[in-house]
């Protein structure tokens, strides 16, 4: 369905042309003076130069040409040459009806769907999931859903970190604690046990302990590095242990992500790219892309236009070991081979921006991707505590995601049972839904690249620009619709009518922006634009609600029209929150 602004511009083009002016000047925008008009066109000002004529005269001509318009109810030329526009109530109502009848609520599916891989989540196996990885999961999930909503073929990949030193550290620590485990017996040739020799809580304790110990004891670190090397070389016992670590850890990660309503199409890991490395390295050497620098194999990626130093991309260390770089490049090879994406989007901490610049340049230069394959980096800022420092627990430790979630669930639960009488089980379930909206909206309503302060009190508030406020609004609409049905009425018996008052029109003017917002938000990879849209829409609805006695309206036709408008408002809001990654309860 055409966007409202497109419909408006078509009307303006007709008018400019009819009045004898070029269509290029006929461009309207949302008004920046909502007290005076809803849309405005400044084209007469620009046209004045071309036609050597006072802008106000041109504006007057256009206004006359619009006298019969059924798009606008009011058109004014004001000095020095602005054209102020108000939409015709019938035009607006019919646009809303068309939206309601459209299966995608006016949002057009893209004509040429792309295959887009999105690399997000990025948790590291065997390390507890902490808030550092929260943003990637929340933002990535939303971008994936946005793209899908528009009709792209989105493939989400968690790209777990499973190949680094953390593995060697865990193996070495285990060896220290339980040297008799069969995995450490080099002469052993039988099958290894099915059960892991540790639980998830042990595993999560082992890594930080080993990591701290390695910092103090270089010989331990040395050993861990060697263990990592042996693992990567394929040592049987170590590989078996590594499988246990993956299994235990991934089961736990799946649970955590599922609590966040984050789902991945692919559970790929860094290690999955390893088989592609030897051939890729050979190819880079053979084609003269890579050269030796101090024993290490590198690809130069600096460009003449660089204003800051972009160091070469290191492919292999001097001892032949591969790096994070190598894995990411080989992952690109793998992705091209298996999925042939038109685009890959990485949702990663913005501190890795330089790193991704190197990787992207290297992938392009060495032609691992096609010329038109887009590689995008969506870097996000840090989630800080109220003290402005990276978010920590009260005692200063790294905040585990599970703990954060349960604290916020608890907070929400308290609020909900304070609010009204409710069955404790239902309150628990509702609390989880609302808590998730608090966390996700709190994150997504900020521009991704900026740092933000995770303020539990503010995020969980039912008032202000928060997830719970949005849900509260949706629940309010649901409750009106339920009560209406409770009167023995059916939904959908009447169509949306013309607005009866200012607040109703204001709300309608918000609703019609939906398709534009969805498109722009996706193009700019900017979920915060959806948040600010639903915040405006929720405010517009609440104003209308406070000024209008909906259910007690005696004119049944009018009342039924309002009900239809509410159904549409709810559908728009629900589609938006679904794309943001959360849902609404029935009551709260």
Window of 23-31, 118-126, 256-264, 406-414 that interacts with ligand ARG by CB under 6 A: 118-126
Please give the angle made by the CA atoms of 515, 45 and 62, to the nearest 5 degrees: 70
Gyration radius (Cα) of the chain, Å: 29
Asked whether 431 and 413 are in contact (CB, 8 A), the reply is yes
Dist CA 428 CA 434 (whole Å): 10
Residue with smaller CB distance to ligand ARG, 134 or 576: 134
Residue with smaller CB distance to ligand ARG, 55 or 140: 140
Residues in 332-351 at the binding interface with ligand ARG, rule: CB under 6 A? 346, 348
Site for ligand ARG (CB under 6 A): which residue of 11, 38, 61, 119? 119
Minimum distance from residue 143 beta carbon to ligand ARG (Å): 14
Dist CA 262 CA 357 (whole Å): 27
Dist CA 567 CA 277 (whole Å): 54
Minimum distance from residue 208 beta carbon to ligand ARG (Å): 15
Residue with smaller CB distance to ligand ARG, 252 or 328: 328
Strand pairing of 39-41 and 28-30? antiparallel
Residue with smaller CB distance to ligand ARG, 119 or 252: 119
Strand pairing of 115-119 and 153-157? parallel
Minimum distance from residue 339 beta carbon to ligand ARG (Å): 15
> Tokens representing 393?
């627990």
Contacts of 148 (CB under 8 A, 6+ apart): 154
Minimum distance from residue 348 beta carbon to ligand ARG (Å): 4
**Backbone phi and psi for residue 87, each to the nearest 5 degrees, phi listed first:** -75, 145
Residue 533 binding ligand ARG, by CB under 6 A:
no
Interface characters, 289-328, with ligand ARG (x: CB under 6 A): ---------------------------------------x
> Tokens representing 236?
């049987």
- Classified as helix, coil or strand, 345 is strand
Torsion sign (Cα): 241, 245, 246, 248: positive
Residue with smaller CB distance to ligand ARG, 346 or 452: 346
Minimum distance from residue 576 beta carbon to ligand ARG (Å): 27
If you write DSSP's letter for every residue of 280-317 in order, what string do you get?
Answer: HHHHHHHTT--EEETTEEEE----TT-SS--PPEEEE-
Residue with smaller CB distance to ligand ARG, 123 or 433: 123
Window of 117-125, 194-202, 222-230, 305-313 that interacts with ligand ARG by CB under 6 A: 117-125
Minimum distance from residue 355 beta carbon to ligand ARG (Å): 8
Minimum distance from residue 325 beta carbon to ligand ARG (Å): 9
Whether omega for the bond prior to residue 80 falls within 30 degrees of 0, making it cis, is yes
Contacts of 466 (CB under 8 A, 6+ apart): 438, 441, 442, 458, 459, 460
Dist CA 180 CA 243 (whole Å): 19
Residue with smaller CB distance to ligand ARG, 292 or 338: 338
Please give the angle made by the CA atoms of 531, 533 and 536, to the nearest 5 degrees: 110
Dist CA 83 CA 253 (whole Å): 57
Minimum distance from residue 334 beta carbon to ligand ARG (Å): 11
Residue 159 binding ligand ARG, by CB under 6 A:
yes
Residue with smaller CB distance to ligand ARG, 122 or 561: 122
Residues in 421-480 at the binding interface with ligand ARG, rule: CB under 6 A? none
Residue with smaller CB distance to ligand ARG, 8 or 399: 399
Residue with smaller CB distance to ligand ARG, 161 or 341: 161
Residue 272 binding ligand ARG, by CB under 6 A:
no
Residue 561 binding ligand ARG, by CB under 6 A:
no
Residue 141 binding ligand ARG, by CB under 6 A:
no
Site for ligand ARG (CB under 6 A): which residue of 43, 55, 81, 122? 122
Minimum distance from residue 352 beta carbon to ligand ARG (Å): 7
Residue 124 binding ligand ARG, by CB under 6 A:
yes
% helix / strand / coil in the chain, to the nearest 5?
A: 55, 10, 35
Q: How many CB atoms lie within 10 A of CB 215?
A: 10
Total site size for ligand ARG, rule CB under 6 A: 8
Residue 360 binding ligand ARG, by CB under 6 A:
no
Residue 161 binding ligand ARG, by CB under 6 A:
yes
Please give the angle made by the CA atoms of 326, 329 and 334, to the nearest 5 degrees: 120
Which residue ranges make up the site for ligand ARG (CB under 6 A)? 119, 122, 124, 159, 161, 328, 346, 348
């Amino acid at each position: 369905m055409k966007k409202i602004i497109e419909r408006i511009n078509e009307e303006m083009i007709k008018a400019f042309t009819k009045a004898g002016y070029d269509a290029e000047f006929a461009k309207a925008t949302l008004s920046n003076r909502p007290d005076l008009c809803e849309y405005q066109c400044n084209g007469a000002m620009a046209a004045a130069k071309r036609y050597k004529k006072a802008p106000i005269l041109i504006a007057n001509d256009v206004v006359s040409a619009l006298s019969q318009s059924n798009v606008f109810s009011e058109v004014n030329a004001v000095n020095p040459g602005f054209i102020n526009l108000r939409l015709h109530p019938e035009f607006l109502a019919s646009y809303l009806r068309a939206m309601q009848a459209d299966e995608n609520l006016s949002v057009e599916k893209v004509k040429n769907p792309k295959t887009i891989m999105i690399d997000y989540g990025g948790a590291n196996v065997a390390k507890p999931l902490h808030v550092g990885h929260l943003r990637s999961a929340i933002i990535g999930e939303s971008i994936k859903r946005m793209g899908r909503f528009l009709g792209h073929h989105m493939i989400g990949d968690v790209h777990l970190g499973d190949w680094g030193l953390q593995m060697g550290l865990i193996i070495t620590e285990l060896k220290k604690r339980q040297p008799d485990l069969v995995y450490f017996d080099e002469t052993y040739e039988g099958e290894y046990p099915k059960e892991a020799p540790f639980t998830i809580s042990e595993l999560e304790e082992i890594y930080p302990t080993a990591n701290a110990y390695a910092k103090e004891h270089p010989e331990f670190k040395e050993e861990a590095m060697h263990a990592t090397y042996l693992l990567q070389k394929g040592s049987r016992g170590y590989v078996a242990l590594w499988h246990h670590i993956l299994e235990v850890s991934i089961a736990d990660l799946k649970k955590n992500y599922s609590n966040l309503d984050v789902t991945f199409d692919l559970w790929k890991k860094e290690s999955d790219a390893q088989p592609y490395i030897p051939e890729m390295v050979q190819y880079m050497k053979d084609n003269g892309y890579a050269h030796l620098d101090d024993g290490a194999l590198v690809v130069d990626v600096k460009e003449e236009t660089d204003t800051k130093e972009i160091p070469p991309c290191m492919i292999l260390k001097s001892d032949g070991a591969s790096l994070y770089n190598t894995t990411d490049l080989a992952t690109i090879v793998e992705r091209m081979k298996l999925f042939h994406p038109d685009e890959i989007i990485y949702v990663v901490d913005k501190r890795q921006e330089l790193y991704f610049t190197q990787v992207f340049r290297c992938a392009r230069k060495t032609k691992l991707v096609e010329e038109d394959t887009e590689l995008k980096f969506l870097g996000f800022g840090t989630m800080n505590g109220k003290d402005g420092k990276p978010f920590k627990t009260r005692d200063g430790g790294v905040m585990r995601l599970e703990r954060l979630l349960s604290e916020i669930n608890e907070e929400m639960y308290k609020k909900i049972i304070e609010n009204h009488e409710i069955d404790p089980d239902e309150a628990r379930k509702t609390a989880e839904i609302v808590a998730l909206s608090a966390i996700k909206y709190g994150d997504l309503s900020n521009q991704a690249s900026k740092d933000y302060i995770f303020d539990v009190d503010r995020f969980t508030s039912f008032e202000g620009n928060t997830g719970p406020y949005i849900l509260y609004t949706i629940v309010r609409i649901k409750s009106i619709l339920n009560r209406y049905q409770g009167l023995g009425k059916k939904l959908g018996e009447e169509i949306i009518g013309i607005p009866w008052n200012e607040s109703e029109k204001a709300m309608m003017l918000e609703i019609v922006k939906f398709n534009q917002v969805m498109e722009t938000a996706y193009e700019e990879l900017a979920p915060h634009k959806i948040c600010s849209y639903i915040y405006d829409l929720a405010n517009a609805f609440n104003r209308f609600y406070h000024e209008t006695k909906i259910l007690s309206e005696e004119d049944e036709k009018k009342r039924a029209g309002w009900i239809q408008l509410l159904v549409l408002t709810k559908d728009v809001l629900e589609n938006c929150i679904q794309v943001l990654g959360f849902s609404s309860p029935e009551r709260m």
